[in-house]
């Protein structure tokens, strides 16, 4: 799913990663392979946030691809792997 800037920041507050900007040259290819998402990279690979089925007001960080080599030069896609990180879609004050 595509995240607005507030949800990107909320994700980064909960999940140690870097957001890939929408204007990055790799985003069109990532969208073609994985669908329209806001993508995040960290030491374990490529991630996105998917709506949580049990909690409609939250999303779960899922890993879409792992690093294919120790130098982290390429990614190997795999079935989405849910992490334990849940991102609330609304802040505690309702925004």
49 with 11: CB under 8 angstroms? yes
pLDDT digits (tens), the chain, 95 positions: 999 999 999 999 999 999 999 999 999 999 999 999 999 999 999 999 999 877 778 999 999 999 999 899 999 999 999 999 999 988 766 55
What predicted TM-score, i.e. pTM, was given to this entire model? 0.90
Q: Where are the domains of the chain?
A: 5-88
At 93 the three-state DSSP class reads: coil
Question: Which residue has tokens 């049990």?
Answer: 54
Beta carbons within 8 Å of 24's beta carbon, 6+ residues apart: none
């Amino acid at each position: 799913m595509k995240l607005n800037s507030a949800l990107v920041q909320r994700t980064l507050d909960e999940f140690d990663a870097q957001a890939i900007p929408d204007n990055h040259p790799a985003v069109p290819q990532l969208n073609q392979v994985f669908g329209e998402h806001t993508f995040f990279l960290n030491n374990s690979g490529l991630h996105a946030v998917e709506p949580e089925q049990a909690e409609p007001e939250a999303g779960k960080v899922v890993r879409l691809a792992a690093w294919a080599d120790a130098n982290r030069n390429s990614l190997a896609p795999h079935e989405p792997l849910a992490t334990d990180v849940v991102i609330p879609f609304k802040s505690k004050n309702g925004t």
